Amino acid sequence: MSDCIFCKIAAKQIPTQVVYEDTDVLAFKDINPKAPTHLLVIPKKHIEKLSDLQPADAELGGKMLLAVGKIAEHIGIKDAGFRVVINNGKFAGQEVFHLHFHVLGGKQMSWNPA
Ligand code: AMP
Ligand code: ZN
């Protein structure tokens, strides 16, 4: 996707603060953090949103979830706890249509929509 900002970040065409990378997954700092720690975990491959994941993406989805735990341990937010948010589509407030997990930590979360 030539006009997708997260594809450009994955391709290193736009600089960002990378905190984790493997062959399929990238994690970087959110440009407008809503918590002391606010990271975005993305697949390098363009997938618009969570509900577009296909059975063939099962391994990729698992790698993204495993990356969250590895990152949380590495940056020291695992024991205190953290929140993972996925906005899927318009009603959820998704603004960037390239799948991403928000990883929020470093403070007590005060709002629990679930
Ligand atoms: P969402 O509303 O779930 O689509 O979240 C999109 C997120 O992407 C927001 O938290 C933005 O602050 C973040 N964002 C947008 N552009 C960039 C960028 N160039 N680098 C890092 N984060 C970004
Ligand atoms: Zn993309």
Ligand 1, CB cutoff 6 Å, lining residues: 5, 14, 16, 30-32, 40, 87, 93-96
Residue 20 inside a domain? The answer is: yes
DSSP 76: T
Q: Would you state the pLDDT for residue 1? A: 64
109 backbone φψ class: left, alpha, beta (φ>0; ψ -120 to 50): beta
Can you tell me the distance from the alpha carbon of 12 to that of 18, in angstroms, rounded to the nearest whole number? 10
Asked about 100 being catalytic, the answer comes back as yes
Q: What is the pTM of this model?
A: 0.97
Residue 56 inside a domain? The answer is: no
Closest-lying ligand to the alpha carbon of 47? 2
Residue 69 inside a domain? The answer is: no
Give me the mean pLDDT over the 66-80 stretch.
97
Q: By residue range, what is the domain housing residue 104?
A: 1-51+84-108
Instruction: Return the CATH number at 1.
Output: 3.30.428.10
Q: What percent of the chain has pLDDT over 70?
A: 99
Task: List the catalytic residue out of 38, 74, 98, 100.
Answer: 100
pLDDT of residue 113 exceeding 80, the answer is: no
Q: By alpha-carbon position, which residue is closest to atom 12 of ligand 1?
A: 32
Total domain count for the chain? Answer: 1
Q: What is the pLDDT of residues 2-55, one digit of tens each?
A: 799 999 999 999 999 999 999 999 999 999 999 999 999 999 999 999 999 999
Q: Would you state the pLDDT for residue 111? A: 85
Q: Would you state the pLDDT for residue 114? A: 75
Closest-lying ligand to the alpha carbon of 42? 2
Residue 77 inside a domain? The answer is: no
